């Protein structure tokens, strides 16, 4: 049974389990709902970089960050499709496109629609993250055949205002509602290692697991601290605030138990994780990663390193199962 009525006390009790017991429970739930030893490979491309008016404390694309990152215009559709084709050749089955916007302008939507249609024609799953959406924009993306829309809640409702002030937690939930109502799969997760407490991690998982429908994809990111961002500077000054790897694996495991049918994506921060930590995450229910050398503007593990790790673990890349061509837009 898929529950959306989890209590915070139940989520906290999962976090408090002995580590081996929690990982065992998560692995059991995972194998009951997903193929064993298969991990989905996704590629993430920044189609519009920098200049975002939001003040997210973790993000080097914010105009309030002092990182020297130059803002760019929206990429040409052909260039995006070339990048998608290369990602497919490298084994990715999902292509994710991210734009550093508070929300897309209506003038940008025709190009966005063409990107979705073009990637879908290649037989890849499509995902977009463009900031907040109106009902009309969500409907346009659904008509184009978009498979997933990413809009993270980032952290617990209580801590949210300490990380972002330019939009509210409720604003995030409203966009998720528009996406669900349009019939697009929801991709929604957040970031740990931002100096939060375990109670915040409990609140973060609880908020996701009690949505009207569990997100189809749940990215769990470890903060990549970038100098010039609020949180990056804070963690460079106080490195002990970073989350330890056992606690990170616990977070992945609790997400798997609480949201058994969701794809749990091991996202940002992998480039600094050991192979052993990543293996524990896969054991605890993570079954999707971003591959390639870059995640938007920060480093990533890279295709060759991922292939070597998969070979050591006996893990294979999951294949996409989607309709393409004319059926995609039906």
**Which among 187, 201, 256, 281 is annotated as catalytic?**
187
User: Is 281 flagged in the annotation as binding?
Assistant: no
**Which among 188, 265, 270, 281 is annotated as catalytic?**
265
Burial 205-241 (b: 16+ CB within 10 A, else e): bbbbbbbeebbbbbbbbbbbbbeebbbbbebeeeeee
Specify the DSSP class assigned to residue 52. B
Would you call 187 a catalytic residue per the annotation?
yes
User: Is 52 flagged in the annotation as binding?
Assistant: yes
Give the separation between CA 167 and CA 164, rounded to whole angstroms.
7
User: Is 265 flagged in the annotation as binding?
Assistant: yes
Give the separation between CA 249 and CA 270, rounded to whole angstroms.
12
Measured at the CA of 189, the angle between CA 14 and CA 111, to 5 degrees, comes to 165
**Which among 56, 167, 172, 180 is annotated as catalytic?**
56
Would you call 59 a catalytic residue per the annotation?
yes
**Which among 94, 96, 159, 201 is annotated as catalytic?**
96
Dihedral angle computed from the Cα positions of residues 12, 27, 281 and 5, in that order, rounded to the nearest 10 degrees: -30
User: Is 188 flagged in the annotation as binding?
Assistant: no
Would you call 265 a catalytic residue per the annotation?
yes
In DSSP terms, which residues pair with 298 in a beta bridge?
A: 295
The architecture that CATH gives domain 13-329 is: Alpha-Beta Barrel (3.20)
| pTM for this predicted structure | 0.88
**Which among 59, 120, 159, 256 is annotated as catalytic?**
59
User: Is 127 flagged in the annotation as binding?
Assistant: yes
pLDDT in tens for each of the 330 residues of the chain?
799 999 999 999 999 999 999 999 999 999 999 999 999 888 889 999 877 878 787 877 787 667 667 778 899 999 999 999 998 888 888 899 999 888 899 999 999 999 999 999 999 999 999 999 999 999 999 999 999 999 999 999 999 998 888 999 999 999 999 999 999 999 999 999 888 899 999 999 999 999 999 999 999 998 887 777 767 777 766 655 567 899 999 999 999 999 999 999 998 878 888 999 999 999 999 999 987 654 454 445 456 788 888 999 999 888 755 443 334 444
Would you call 281 a catalytic residue per the annotation?
no
């Amino acid at each position: 049974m898929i529950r959306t009525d989890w209590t915070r006390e139940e989520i906290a009790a999962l976090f408090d389990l002995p580590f081996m017991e929690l990982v065992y429970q998560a692995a059991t739930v995972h194998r009951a709902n997903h193929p064993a030893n298969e991990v989905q490979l996704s590629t993430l491309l920044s189609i519009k970089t920098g200049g975002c008016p939001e003040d997210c404390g973790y993000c080097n694309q914010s105009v309030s960050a002092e990182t020297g990152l130059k803002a760019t215009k929206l990429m040409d559709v052909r260039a995006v499709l070339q990048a998608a084709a290369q990602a497919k050749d490298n084994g990715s089955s999902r292509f994710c496109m991210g734009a550093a916007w508070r929300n897309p302008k209506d003038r940008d939507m025709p190009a966005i629609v063409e990107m979705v249609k073009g990637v879908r024609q290649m037989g890849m799953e499509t995902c977009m993250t463009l900031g907040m959406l109106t009902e009309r924009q969500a409907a346009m993306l659904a008509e184009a055949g978009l498979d997933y829309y990413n809009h993270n809640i980032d952290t617990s409702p209580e801590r949210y205002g300490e990380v972002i002030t330019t939009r509210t937690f409720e604003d995030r939930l409203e966009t998720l509602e528009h996406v669900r109502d349009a019939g697009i799969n929801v991709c929604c997760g957040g970031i740990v290692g931002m100096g939060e407490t375990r109670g915040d991690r409990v609140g973060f998982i609880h908020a996701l697991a009690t949505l009207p429908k569990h997100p189809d994809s749940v990215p769990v990111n470890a903060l990549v601290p970038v100098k010039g961002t609020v949180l990056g500077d804070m963690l460079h000054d106080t490195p002990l605030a970073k989350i330890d790897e056992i606690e990170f694996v616990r977070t992945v495991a609790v997400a798997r138990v609480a949201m058994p049918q969701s794809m749990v994506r091991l996202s940002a921060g992998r480039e600094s994780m050991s192979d052993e930590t990543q293996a524990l995450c896969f054991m605890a229910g993570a079954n999707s990663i971003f591959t390639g050398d870059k995640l938007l503007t920060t480093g990533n593990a890279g295709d060759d390193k991922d292939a070597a790790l998969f070979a050591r673990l006996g893990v294979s890349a999951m294949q996409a199962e989607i309709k393409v061509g004319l059926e995609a837009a039906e």
